[in-house]
A and B are shown apart, each in its own frame.
Chain A
Amino acid sequence: MGGSPKGWTMFRRALRLRSSRVLLVRRLGTRRGGSTLDWDGKVSDIKKKIGSILPGETWAPLYDTRHLPPEHSDVVIVGGGVLGLSVAFWLKQLQKKRDGIRVLVVERDHTYSKASTVLSVGGIRQQFSLPENVQLSLFSVNFLRNINEYLAVVDSPPLDLQFNPSGYLLLASEQGAANLENNVKMQRQEGAKVGLMSPQQLQNKFPWMNVKGVALASYGMEDEGWFDPWSLLQGLRRKVQSMGVLFCQGEVTRFTTSSNSMVTSSGEEVVLKRIYEVHVKMNNSLEYQPVECAIVINAAGAWSGQIAELAGIGKGPPGTLKGTKLPVEPRKRYVYVWHCPQGPGLEMPFIADTNGVYFRREGLGNNYLGGLSPTEEEEPDPINLDVDHDFFQDKVWPHLAQRVPAFQSLKVQNAWAGYYDYNTFDQNGVVGPHPLVVNMYFATGFSGHGLQHAPAVGRAVAEMVLEGHFQTIDMSPFLFSRFHLGEKVLEDNIF
């Protein structure tokens, strides 16, 4: 073969050059650019693009929408605290069909820095004066006891609520003694294990206490104590996410409603509204997503009043149903932690004194925590969560030192403030639908005992949404309509 061996070797040399990774000669033309240099990077880019088009991945060719909530959801729960998550859990649990109901939980602050749930002292008791409250507590305690059955998630460690079953001790002076006795009788009828103690028995049992001024005391023997609300919240969150509830970090800024005017049998015109869209605004931006929904649940805690106003509740002439606002507002409460080396030991229960001061043991190192609800005149401004240490000095410490003499010498280690979602009408929760805005359900306003009732209230609201009526516990005294009718459901044992 004659041919041109020189040409052949040149061809082979050119081939070798082209196939090698290292570019020996800088090419003049830009037709091929630097393609062979960046080959690895290009391959991984192509792989990423193919990966994002596959089913199940997010593909937003125009812009990234992963942080936005979905465009449609059956139920939107405003507020991701323990009440909101409890409602989400029971909605999914009671719905027999898997994925039969789509739930979206909208929470403004995923660090829960101002949420009442995590700043709570974590107590649970059955010693209330309303039978419904006692039933709610009994159900919730049952839930907490079997929490690893209710909130079991495959491959996750079991939940440890750090429950201290030390019981509550409510002290009553001469005036409150008869009331306390009636309450205990009612609580025992409902099934709570509460006993009465005379001052002498109290002194024998708790020698470190000064029983001066105590006429009668009620002591919860079982199913009462305190636990860690943060672990309950995390457990609920984990379970609820495994059940398919979607979470969104954003703020609800608008409800779009449609109205329907109807005439009652007496000829009066009533305007019924339905919320069909919720505008969820992202934090630190103007971006919002309208979420089409069927039901909205107001579990926003201390801010429920603002959410209700957005839906138009309370915008009307005062005295009418249309003009009745949701009377829930934030109230600031302080909790102080102190150390007292000679203080009471392991047997100390959660003590609630005659004047409203409450305190309990915290851990094993002689630390205690407690507080006091201020009177109406002394209510602090709820604009921020700053702590007033003078309040402890002037109002709380004298009572502590009087009841437990060892507390005369104590040292405050820590203090924090949290909000009560305070119901100014009667300090009890609001549960159930609004009569005029037909698809907004309330689960709020528990004024300091929301955490201990959360599992039961969640179930009640879920039953109301799915069945249309309350099944396990009858919560009809807690409906919204009582604000218009003026029927107060007062609870005595609130601290």
Chain B
Amino acid sequence: MAAPRSFLCRLALAYNGSSRGIHGLSGAVPPEGNQRKRRTLLQFLSDHFYDVEALRLYLLQIKMSKVHQENRSLAHIREKYGPYIAGAFFVLKQGGAVKFQDHEWIRPNKRGHFSREFLKLQTVPVQAVDASGCAINYDGLDNLLPLKELQSLSLQHCPHVDDWCLSRLYPLAGSLQELSLSGCPQISERGLACLHHLQNLRRLDISNLPAVSYPGLTRILVEEMLPNCEVLGMDEAQGL
């Protein structure tokens, strides 16, 4: 019975995905009136049959648990190889890139495979992490926070990075000099308010944040909050 079930899953995911895909899970919320106009067949069935509603809720929960699975804590790797290797492995597994001190950038190839050569670099600290587009969330940051010499962190276009994640970045305050949050759909000015712990920050990229309600004003307030930092993005031309 595997074939028909997987077909049904894919069908339901397609319907689900069209209205509430990973990027539809966040960002601007349309008013209820708009939603009533475009009722798909699956929404109609959900309203009238408990089974369909339960199935759709189950599929939604499966999607969420997949994100959890990707962000599980790599405690066993951290014990065996140390925090730097654990953090690097985590980032590479998600599809990001890692740069050790005095080494080149390590990236996974198109198929997601990466060489295990970095396992020899147990005592070399991680200098930069590029987690753009990765499904990293609050729990996944567990693996990045022990990287005490991290200088540059890029979280561009990460769909699950929200205000809670930003409040967790303060342990990196000693070393972090460059932070990029551009394109994250769930970050708002409330999360940006807790970046004041990062006193060594020199470059902050907060361009293209759709959830920030007043970009120009937020930029001014962030510049006041971090006087030694260069703030990029949210130009005054973009709607004050």
Name A's B-contacting residues (CB within 8 A).
98, 145, 148-149, 152, 154-155, 157-158, 160, 162-167, 221-223, 225, 242, 345-347, 364
Q: A149-B61, A222-B168 are in contact. Are A154 and B190 (CB under 8 A)?
A: no
Q: Is the interface of A mostly helix, strand, loop or mixed?
A: loop
- Bound Cα distance from A346 to B57, whole angstroms: 38
Select which of A148, A152, A155, A166 is within 8 A of B35 by beta carbon.
A155
B window 16-62: CB within 8 A of A: 19, 25-26, 29-30, 35, 43, 46, 53-54, 56-57, 60-61
Contacting residues of chain B (163-190) with chain A, CB-CB under 8 angstroms: 163-164, 166-168, 170, 188-190
Whether B221 pairs with A160 at a CB distance below 8 angstroms is no
Instruction: Find out whether the CB atom of A222 lies under 8 angstroms from the CB atom of B167.
Output: yes
**Contact A346 B53, beta carbon cutoff 8 Å:** no
Q: Chain B: which residue is nearest A99 at the CB level?
A: B50
Listed from nearest, the 8 A-B pairs whose CB atoms lie closest are A165-B167, A347-B196, A346-B193, A157-B29, A164-B190, A154-B56, A346-B225, A346-B221
| B166 CB contact (under 8 Å) in A152, A160, A165 | A165
Q: A154-B57, A165-B163 are in contact. Are A345 and B224 (CB under 8 A)?
A: yes
Q: Roughly how many angstroms separate A221 CA and B217 CA in the complex, as a whole number?
A: 25
Tell me whether B81 is interfacial, beta carbon within 8 Å: no
- Closest B residue by C-beta to A162: B190
Taking the complex as formed, is B197 at the interface, i.e. its CB lies under 8 A from any CB of chain A?
Answer: yes
Nearest CB on B from A9, distance (A)? 55
Residues of A close to B197: CB separation below 8 A:
221
User: Taking each of A165, A223, A345, which has the highest tally of chain B beta carbons within 10 Å of its own beta carbon?
Assistant: A165
Q: How far is the CA of A166 from the CA of B167 in the complex (A)?
A: 8
Q: In the complex where A154-B46, A155-B43, A346-B192 touch, is A221 in contact with B164 (Cβ < 8 A)?
A: no
The reply to whether A222 and B190 contact each other, CB–CB distance below 8 Å, is: no
Contact B57–A157 (Cβ < 8 Å): no
Q: Which residues of the other chain, A, contact B194 by a CB distance below 8 angstroms?
A: 165-167
Give the CA-CA distance A355 to B185 in the complex, in Å. Answer: 41
A-B residue pairs in contact (CB < 8 Å), sample of 22 = A145-B164, A154-B46, A154-B53, A154-B60, A155-B35, A157-B29, A158-B26, A162-B190, A164-B163, A164-B193, A165-B164, A165-B166, A165-B190, A165-B193, A166-B193, A221-B167, A221-B197, A222-B167, A242-B53, A345-B224, A346-B193, A364-B214
Tell me how many residue pairs across A and B have CB atoms closer than 8 Å: 73
List A contacts of B60 (CB < 8 A).
152, 154
**How distant is B212 from chain A, measured CB to nearest CB, in Å?**
10
CB of B97 within 8 A of chain A? no
Alpha-carbon gap, A164 to B195, bound state (A): 12
B191 lies within 8 A of chain A by Cβ: yes
Contacts of A98 in B (CB 8 A): 54
- A152 pairs with B57, CB closer than 8 A: yes
Query: B114 in the interface, Cβ–Cβ < 8 Å?
Result: no
User: What residues of chain A lie closer than 8 Å to B138, measured between beta carbons?
Assistant: 145
CB-nearest residue of chain A to B28: A157
| Shortest distance from the beta carbon of A364 to any chain B beta carbon, whole Å | 5
Are B163's CB and A163's CB within 8 A? Answer: yes
Residues of B that sit less than 8 Å from A by CB: 19, 25-26, 29-30, 35, 43, 46, 53-54, 56-57, 60-61, 64, 138, 163-164, 166-168, 170, 188-194, 196-197, 214, 217-218, 221-222, 224-225
Of chain B, the residue at the smallest CB distance from A141 is B164
A418 CA to B94 CA, complexed, in Å: 48
Q: Do A152 and B193 touch (CB < 8 A)?
A: no
Whole-angstrom distance from the CB of B189 to the nearest CB of chain A?
A: 6
Hey, which chain B residues are within 8 Å of A347, CB to CB?
A: 193, 196, 225
| CB neighbours of A167 from chain B (8 A) | 194
* Complex-state Cα separation, A158 to B30, whole angstroms: 11
Known A149-B61, A154-B53: A163·B46 in contact at CB below 8 Å: no
Q: A149-B64, A154-B60, A165-B163 in contact; A345/B225 too (CB < 8 A)?
A: yes
List the A residue with the shortest CB-CB distance to B193. A346
Q: Which residue of B lies closest to A149 (CB)?
A: B64
Contacts of B170 in A (CB 8 A): 221-222
Closest to B196 in A: A347
- Which residues of A sit under 8 angstroms from B25, Cβ to Cβ? 148, 158
Residues of chain A within 8 A of B167, CB atoms compared? 165, 221-223, 225
**Assembled-state Cα–Cα distance A165/B164 (Å):** 7
Cα–Cα, bound, A98→B54 (Å): 10
A163→B164 contact, CB < 8 A: yes
Once bound together, how far apart are the Cα atoms of A241 and B196, in whole Å?
A: 41
Instruction: Give bound CA distance, A242 to B163, whole Å.
Output: 28
* B26 and A163 contacting across the interface, CB-CB below 8 Å: no
Distance between B26 CB and nearest chain A CB, rounded to angstroms: 6
Q: In the bound complex, do residue B30 and residue A346 qualify as a contact, i.e. CB atoms below 8 Å apart?
A: no
Alpha-carbon separation in the docked complex, A221 to B188 (Å):
19
In the complex, A167 Cα to B221 Cα: how many Å? 18
* Interface pair A364/B222, CB less than 8 Å apart: no
Shortest distance from the beta carbon of A149 to any chain B beta carbon, whole Å: 5
Q: Judging by beta carbons under 8 Å apart, are B29 and A155 in contact?
A: no
For A153, give the chain B residue with the smallest CB separation.
B57
Q: Which residues of B contact A165 (CB under 8 A)?
A: 163-164, 166-167, 190-191, 193-194
Measured CA separation A282–B214 after assembly (Å): 45
Q: Contacts A154-B53, A165-B194: A364 and B164 contacting too (C-beta < 8 A)?
A: no
Q: Distance (Å) between the CB of B223 and the closest chain A CB?
A: 10
Contact partners of A145 in chain B: CB under 8 A = 138, 164
| A364 closest partner in B (C-beta) | B217
* In the bound complex, CA of A218 to CA of B1 (Å): 59
Alpha-carbon gap, A222 to B189, bound state (A):
16
Q: Give the nearest-CB partner of B217 in chain A.
A: A364
B29, B167, B197 pick with most chain A CB within 10 angstroms: B167
* Cβ 8 A contact of B190, one of A158, A163, A345: A163
- Residues from chain B with Cβ under 8 Å of A346 in the complex: 189, 192-193, 196, 221-222, 224-225
CA A165 to CA B222, docked complex, whole Å: 15
Complex Cα–Cα for A347 and B196 (A)? 6
B139 to chain A, nearest CB (A): 10
Cα distance, A225 to B167, chains bound together (Å): 10
List A contacts of B189 (CB < 8 A). Answer: 346, 364
CA distance A145 to B165 in the complex (A): 10
Q: In the docked arrangement, what's the CA distance between A222 and B171, Å?
A: 11
A103 to B167, CA, bound (A): 38
